[in-house]
Amino acid sequence: MKSSGNTLLITGGGSGIGRALAESFHALGNQVIIVGRRQSTLDEVTRAHPGIASFTLDIEDADAIPRFAADVTSKYPGLNAVVHNSGIMRVENLLDPAFSLDDAEATVSTNLLGPIRLTAALLPHLLKQPRATLVTVTSGLAFVPLAATPTYCATKAALHSYTESLRYQLRNTAVEVVELAPPYVQTELMGPHQASDPRAMPLKDFISESLQLLTQSPTPAEILVKPVLPLRNAARGDYPAFFKQFNDAMSAPRH
């Protein structure tokens, strides 16, 4: 993926990893379009970085996605890169008598169906470009799940699988398909405490290392910063022991 000269759409671009990617790609000389549910959050980014454009979209709304795709490609016909970054992560206690499926269903709609639907809506346009890139943001938890967030982990594992199939189907086109699998990063995905959790990778460091990998030529199929490698490679060793050790560590009190 070229570092500049792209017209780049980033879902979930109002905060966290999405916002940091948007700001970095904008600084490199790309036309950046951020997408999210909350206009106020998007406005914070566009005010701070004139030139970044924004669209509101509820990624769970299946009917809204084709309309959005038609609108954004009409206004930005040079669109040639999409980063599927929208995501929610919620703790689910399956033993709680009051457990509801609401969080699970919202997570599937946002994290999995959203990228699938938006890819289907934008792919005909991307295939017409001289070069194009689709980036799916999965997670290290696609490879070793965090037991406290079962549906989140399941959606990321499914998105990893979908990405591999999509890459193979598009292998003879000008559309490259890249998977960005973050480790635990200092964002507010799980709440304000995460942004300062010493166990998490600083957001600035994650973005810097990820951009170095994303802009290599040829682009790696998987963008894996160093802290995520133990999760990605866990299946090569004693997986049950690693799974237990990882989940025990993540459930321990923060210091």
Rounded Cα distance between 179 and 222, Å, is: 5
Chain position carrying tokens 């566009």 = 46
Helices 150-169 & 114-126 angle (0-180, nearest 10): 20
Rounded Cα distance between 6 and 218, Å, is: 16
The number of residues in the chain equals 255
The answer to whether 135 touches 83, Cβ cutoff 8 Å, is: yes
∠ CA 24-202-139, nearest 5°, is 80
* The two three-digit tokens of residue 165, written as one number: 């199939």
Chain position carrying tokens 């990321």 = 156
* The two three-digit tokens of residue 49, written as one number: 């970085």
What is the set of active-site residues?
A: 152
